[in-house]
Amino acid sequence: MNCYCQSGRDFDDCCQLFIQGQQLPATAEQLMRSRFSAYCDGSDVAMQYVANSYHPLSQVDNPVDEITAFSKAAHFIGLQVIDVSDELLLPESLQQRLLDGAAGDTLSYGTVHFKVQFIMQDKLHLLEETSRFIKTNLCWSYLDGTLWDHPAQKLSRNDSCPCQSGKKYKNCRPHRIAGQDL
């Protein structure tokens, strides 16, 4: 099975390794792609992975039950990575806040600008974000992101399905998942 992140690799040899805890993402982009794949996968393990991949400052605002509810309601059909910046120097003010006095930790951060398309409640949504990821020692985590506002598009029954199945929206169930062949 192709990986949901659309890397061209098999899921077993790509994002599933991170989701199941067999490897740590080496870059901010790998973490972002694996989080997207986890949302597509929707399993309990995948949802826990998303929750655990938040930086501790962000985890309290993103409980696993809300992550799971969103994953179940949305049907993810596409991911486009636009720009990636890894291993940037973290501003000292943010570094002080994130370290909170923990001696010996080294911090760097990366950003990933991406777009995700998903279908929810008969509307096509476009989530565009520049995410900030923090690397503490060897572990990347998602801190926060800047979102672009894109209005959802109502899908008409006779429209071509945006999942690229080649079917009309009214006849397309289930929709093709991101990265998967028809």
Give per-residue pLDDT as tens, 2-44. Answer: 999 999 999 999 999 999 999 999 999 999 999 999 999 999 9
Q: Which residue has the tokens 């990347």?
A: 140
74 to each of 4, 24, 160, how far by Cα in Å? 14, 26, 18
Query: Using one digit for the tens of pLDDT, what is the confidence trace for 53-95?
Result: 999 888 878 899 999 999 999 999 999 999 999 867 676 767 6
Q: Which residue has the tokens 């565009």?
A: 128
Q: Write down the pLDDT at residue 108.
A: 80
Q: Write down the pLDDT at residue 57.
A: 81
Per domain, the residue ranges of the chain are 11-91+104-152
Q: Write down the pLDDT at residue 71.
A: 95
3-state secondary structure of 138: coil
Higher pLDDT, 94 or 125: 125
Summarize the confidence of residues 98-108 as an average pLDDT. Answer: 60
55: Cβ contacts below 8 Å, ≥ 6 apart: 98, 134, 141, 142, 143
Summarize the confidence of residues 86-114 as an average pLDDT. Answer: 71
Q: What is the dihedral of CA 137, 138, 141, 147, to 10 degrees?
A: 90
pTM for the predicted model, two decimal places? 0.90
Q: Is the pLDDT score of 168 beyond 60?
A: yes
Quote the distance between the C-alpha of residue 111 and its chain's center: 13
Q: What average pLDDT does the chain have?
A: 89
CATH number for the 11-91+104-152 domain, one of 3.40.50.2300, 3.40.50.150, 3.10.450.50, 1.10.287.3510? 3.10.450.50
